[in-house]
A and B are shown apart, each in its own frame.
Chain A
Amino acid sequence: MFNMPVMNEQVHEYAIVTKALNREFKVRLKAEGLLASVRNFFSPASKTVNAVNDLELQINRGDIVGFLGPNGAGKTTTLKMLSGLLVPTSGSIEVLGYTPFNRDHAFLKSISLVMGQKQNLWWDLPPVETFAIHRQIYGLTDAEYKSRIDELIAMLEIADCLETQTRKLSLGQRMRCELAVSLLHQPQILFLDEPTIGLDIIMQKKIRSFLLDYHRRFNPTILLTSHYMDDVAALAQRVIVIDHGNKVYDGHLTDLTNKLHPEKIISVLLNDGEFVCKLEDGCRLIHHEGQHYRFMVSRNRVPELAARLYATGNIADLTIEDPPLEDLIGQLFTPDSQSR
């Protein structure tokens, strides 16, 4: 009675709010060797691990938020709490005004959890059979089902694999069908846990482009975790970085890159000859091969230096780029970065 969806829509401007969210796990410990195994069999040792620590989140409806962190940082645990799979040890969660672990059917109809390493599709059956089961689960009418599935088939380009057994599909085809199943009920919130894991670059791009297109059309709130930083860079403007269960950054991706790395890379290909200019402060050569040069340049000096390079009249090509996001995020989790 307290979770009337219509009321929630009116009252809650945020799709997701967490306050002082904590989740502890008991982890079993075992020393090496047979004797330790026998000892552990009779008297198991364990320690308590804080997977998520006092996490505070406020995510607006319709936002796409990237959730970053190294392995074991607490990203998936957080997604599982937000989707109602795990009960928090303490703290509060509200997703669309619902308390997720109560698992109200109205709440579950409003969300979708896509896990790159787990699948909804029945392994020995064609995807179309799984679609039919999900149609029943979400109680879609014939008209709703037909229009939605047709739209998803067109957007994901999966018409040719609907009637092939899932086990015979490629990983990319499976993932696209998995997305179709997960979006059949048009969720208001989409939790994506490593949706492009194991896919080749072309398929990763297709999935990203689909997600952007889908978001443009239906405006769901998307919370994304991925080890591929290109996913995050392409989809999310806001990122939340967590490490050992603690939030270490929450803000725009560009602000994070500026903060972590106040430099850009200028790549230059000369027409002929060698680069003879004197390197000034805020500019250093990081790579040189033939007539191809790469410089690391302070962000505030990039326009001026680029103009001066062009002015030499010996430039065949010039590109300006950010350092790879992987490197930046990697820096965030090195011990000497904690003071940043």
Chain B
Amino acid sequence: MRQASIILHLWKATIIQSMEYRASFVFAIIANFFDFIFGLLQYLVFFTAAKSIAGWDSDQMLVLYGVFMLVFALHFILLYPNLVAMGDMVNSGNLDLLLTKPINAQLVVSFKRISLEELGSIGTAALLLGWQFYRGIIVADLGNFLLFGVGIITSLLLIYCMFLLLICLAVLMERLDNMSQLLWSFFSLARYPVEIYPNRIRYVFMSFFPVAFIATIPASALLGRASSVTVWSGFALAIVGVVGCSWLWRCTIKSYTSAGG
């Protein structure tokens, strides 16, 4: 509870901080809204030339896009600002001060900052999914919704694993620019259904480099076309991943050499 309360206070501080620069804050919200619209147009352009892509028709693709944007926005709100700040935190030595505090350093490094600029994208993604539900593309089925919930949690946990791996690299290497680019590449693979990739790559995306679990599997769950075995296997994989990455973080901190001095 104390750790959660600390994180809430840190979030409060970052929200106050981001509101210091009002114009930048408002501009970011507008830019993110247009980013969402342009992404949507991209999908619609595909379907002027084809009725379906790898077995996904335009309505199903919109569900996939809604799920993808939801996950992307959550990552952008919770993790992205912390990833961007990490390199500077290591170089400036401010990680040193953090590590001398009686707190869960992994938790604070991961969630110290929050960015509300993508909050609008969550709203628009929810609207898109709501619209598809209203149109009957998403079937009202409790089992599907449960699998979707598990799928979204899996997706966020896997993104967190990737984030934690990059954070550990930043600490070990003392400098690792463009870490966020790597995560963006990961996302750019996830915005399309894994079925569009050749079989071998699809296998990799379902196992070692689980891109499929970011958006395709949760969207499939909403559409009632995901097997519960796949969803729960992904969840188990994500739990193992988080435990493994947390262990890696602890090892990284033990071998941390600190900046200067």
| Chain A interface residues toward B at CB < 8 A | 25, 75-77, 79-80, 83-87, 101, 103, 105-106, 108-109, 111-113, 115, 117-120, 122, 124-125, 129-130, 132-133, 136-139, 165, 193
Query: In the complex the two chains form, what is the Cα distance from A124 to B85 in whole Å?
Result: 15
Given A111-B100, A112-B100, A120-B97, A133-B258 contact (CB < 8 Å): no
A86's partner among B13, B102, B258 (CB-CB below 8 A) is B258
When the two chains form their complex, are residues B9 and A25 in contact, meaning their CB atoms are under 8 A apart? no
B35 at the interface (CB under 8 A from A): no
Let me know if B103 is at the binding interface, CB within 8 A: yes
Q: Is B57 an interface residue (CB 8 A)?
A: no
**Known contacts A113-B96, A125-B17; A133 and B260 CB within 8 A of each other:** no
Nearest Cβ on chain A to B93's Cβ, whole angstroms: 5
CB distance from A289 to the nearest CB of B (A): 42
Residues in A with CB closer than 8 Å to B99 are 84-85, 103
A-B contact pairs, 14 of them (CB 8 A): A25-B257, A76-B261, A80-B258, A80-B261, A105-B103, A113-B97, A124-B17, A124-B20, A125-B13, A129-B13, A136-B9, A137-B102, A138-B102, A165-B20
Known: A103-B99, A111-B100, A137-B6. A86 touches B256 (CB 8 A): yes
Cα–Cα distance between A199 and B101 once the two chains are bound (Å) = 26
The digit string for B225-261, where 1 denotes a CB below 8 A from any CB of A, is 0000000000000000000000000000011111011
The listed residue (B17, B101, B103, B258) touching A122 by CB distance below 8 A is B17
| Least distance between B102 CB and chain A CB atoms (Å) | 4
Which of B93, B103, B255 interacts with A115 by CB under 8 Å? B93
CB distance from A1 to the nearest CB of B (A): 18
Interface flag for B178 (CB, 8 Å): no
Q: How many A-B residue pairs have CB under 8 A?
A: 76
Residues of A close to B260: CB separation below 8 A: 76
Instruction: List chain B residues, Cβ under 8 A from A75.
Output: 261
Judge whether B52 is part of the interface by a CB distance below 8 angstroms. Answer: no
Q: Which residues in A have their C-beta under 8 angstroms from that of B103?
A: 105, 137
Contact with A along B39-63 (1 / 0, CB 8 A): 0000000000000000000000000
Task: Please measure, in the bound complex, the distance between the C-alpha atom of A193 and the C-alpha atom of B94, giving whole angstroms.
Answer: 14
Residues of A within 8 A of B97 (CB): 113, 115, 118-120
Bitwise interface map of B from 7 to 22 toward A, beta carbon under 8 Å scored 1, else 0: 0011001001100100
Task: Decide if B2 is an interface residue (CB 8 Å cutoff).
Answer: yes
B13's contact among A80, A109, A115, A133, by CB below 8 Å, is which?
A: A133
- Roughly how many angstroms separate A166 CA and B34 CA in the complex, as a whole number? 34
Q: Which residues on A sit within 8 Å (CB–CB) of B254?
A: 87, 101
A118 touches B5 (CB 8 A): no
Return the chain A residue nearest B105 by Cβ.
A103
Given contact pairs A118-B92, A122-B17, enumerate 8 new A-B contacts (beta carbons under 8 Å): A86-B257, A108-B100, A118-B97, A120-B97, A124-B17, A133-B9, A136-B9, A137-B102
Task: Report the bound CA distance from A125 to B5 in whole Å.
Answer: 19
Q: B101 — nearest CB in chain A belongs to which residue?
A: A137
Residues on the A chain within 8 Å of B5, using CB:
136
User: Shortest distance in angstroms between A192's beta carbon and chain B's nearest beta carbon?
Assistant: 13
**Structural contact, A122 and B261, CB atoms closer than 8 A:** no
Which chain A residue has the least Cβ–Cβ distance from B93?
Answer: A118
A83 touches B100 (CB 8 A): yes
Closest 10 CB pairs of A and B: A76-B261, A105-B102, A108-B102, A124-B17, A113-B100, A109-B102, A136-B9, A118-B93, A136-B6, A124-B20
Whole-angstrom distance between the Cβ of A69 and the nearest chain B Cβ: 12
Q: Which residues of A contact B2 (CB under 8 A)?
A: 136, 139
Chain B residues with CB under 8 A of A138 = 102
**A2 to B96 CA separation, bound complex (whole angstroms):** 26
